[in-house]
Structure formats: structure tokens, C-alpha cells
A and B are shown apart, each in its own frame.
Chain A
Amino acid sequence: DSGVTQTPKHLITATGQRVTLRCSPRSGDLSVYWYQQSLDQGLQFLIQYYNGEERAKGNILERFSAQQFPDLHSELNLSSLELGDSALYFCASSEGDRPIEAFFGQGTRLTVV
């Protein structure tokens, strides 16, 4: 158990809908990273938050957004969903603002139908 909790584990939704994925980092970790793993693209970095502020941005679509709350949990919002958004979404956390040692959650499997 990495200490990083992601909910829900599985999510099935229709195209055009909006979903929210949640991540609770390890106790004491200030950084949260979001990754998308799709069959054709592999793992890709989406975005990082550190202590409530956006720190780095990767290949995140404009339809996606994230935030980190004062209690350090983070949410990834995916809107106007398309079939191609079906993927595993991972959250990782680290103590500092660099992923020197990152701990991964179990992922949320999103299926868009």
C-alpha cells in the first residue's frame, strides 16, 4: 500500500459527460501528480500541484482541469468526454516539489461509452 488513495477505482460514463477523479496523497506529501495511461500513448504526465498551486503542466487537454485543496487532496475534472479519454488515470504524490521519490495510487479506470 503506497498510502496514495484514488477514488473511484472504476468509472463508466457516456460521451459528453463530465467526471471528477479524486486523489488523497500520502500523509505529509505536498505534491500531487496526475498521469494518464492509455493503450496507444502509454503513461503521460498531465499536471502537478504543490501545496495548492499548479507547479508543472504536461500534455493536459483544455477539457481537463485539476485543483489541489487546502487539505492537499486533489481532483482531476474531465469534461466533454470522448471515447479516446478512456484510460487509466494515476495520481502520485511526493514530499517535495520534485518527484525524487513518488508514490503511486492504484489508478482510476475510466471507460467512456
Chain B
Amino acid sequence: KNEVEQSPQNLTAQEGEFITINCSYSVGISALHWLQQHPGGGIVSLFMLSSGKKKHGRLIATINIQEKHSSLHITASHPRDSAVYICAVRLGDTGNQFYFGTGTSLTVIP
């Protein structure tokens, strides 16, 4: 069983829609990261969270430590948001390793 589960696996949205991607994890973590992987393969780190909520432009990430759950929201989605979004957790006991979800493939249609 994967320590990190993401949903949905695939998501298609119309331009302008509000999008939510979910991440659940089963172990204690010290931090959670949201990553964006573009079609060419490059990975960009979007957020690092250990509590609460962070906002960057049209992206919002939240985490609920008690419920072991995080969400990534995209407001006013745009075709350039099309990418794979990956949730990665840093376990509390290891500290140095990321464990990754399988990713959510998002396609935003004009």
C-alpha cells in the first residue's frame, strides 16, 4: 500500500473551472509538498506545507494534519495549467526522504 494516495488520477476541466486535487497520507509527516510536472517532464515545486494554507497566484494549498489530508486548488483554470500534479510527503521519522503520490493528470480544455 502506498503511503500517499491522490485523487482523482485523471481530471479534465473546461477553462475557467475551479479545480481540486486531493492527497491523503497514512503516516505522520513533517511536511507535504505539491509538485507540478510539465508534459516535457520537468518538475517544479509549488508549495511546501506543514500546517494551514498557502496561496500563490491562482493556486491554493491546504493541509489538515489531524485528518492527514491536503488539497490543491486551482482557481480560474487555464490550459497552461495542464500538467501532472504530484503530492509528496516527508515522513516525520525519516526526515530526508520524499514519498510520492502517483500524480493527478490535469487537462484544461480551452
Number of interface residues of B (CB under 8 A): 23
Interface residues in A1-56 by Cβ distance below 8 A to B read 2, 33, 35, 42-45, 48, 55-56
Contact for A58 among B44, B45, B97, B103, CB less than 8 A: B97
Contact in complex: B41, A99 (CB < 8 Å): no
> B23: shortest Cβ distance to chain A, in Å?
13
- Which of B43, B101, B103 has the most chain A CB within a 10 Å cutoff? B43
Count, A-B residue pairs, CB within 8 A: 55
Chain B, interface SS category: strand
Q: In this assembly, does A102 line the interface, its C-beta being within 8 Å of a C-beta of chain B? A: yes
Q: Give A45 to B99 CA distance when docked, in angstroms.
A: 7
Contact in complex: A100, B48 (CB < 8 Å): yes
Interface residues in A83-113 by Cβ distance below 8 A to B read 88, 90, 92, 97-104, 106-107, 109
Chain B's closest residue to A106 (CB) is: B42
Q: Give A106 to B96 CA distance when docked, in angstroms.
A: 21
Interface size on A, as a range, is: 20 to 34
Contact for A100 among B31, B94, B97, CB less than 8 A: B31
Contacts of A97 in B (CB 8 A): 96
1/0 contact string of B70-102 vs chain A (CB within 8 Å):
000000000000000010101000111111111
Chain A's closest residue to B6 (CB) is: A42
> B62: shortest Cβ distance to chain A, in Å?
19
Contacts of A102 in B (CB 8 A): 33, 45, 98
Q: Give A88 to B101 CA distance when docked, in angstroms.
A: 16
Contact in complex: B97, A56 (CB < 8 Å): yes
> B83: shortest Cβ distance to chain A, in Å?
13
- Which of B35, B95, B97 has the most chain A CB within a 10 Å cutoff? B97
Chain A's closest residue to B43 (CB) is: A104
Contacts of B95 in A (CB 8 A): 56, 98
> B100: shortest Cβ distance to chain A, in Å?
4
Q: Which 10 A-B pairs have the closest CB atoms?
A: A56-B96, A104-B43, A43-B100, A106-B42, A45-B97, A42-B102, A107-B41, A48-B96, A58-B97, A45-B98
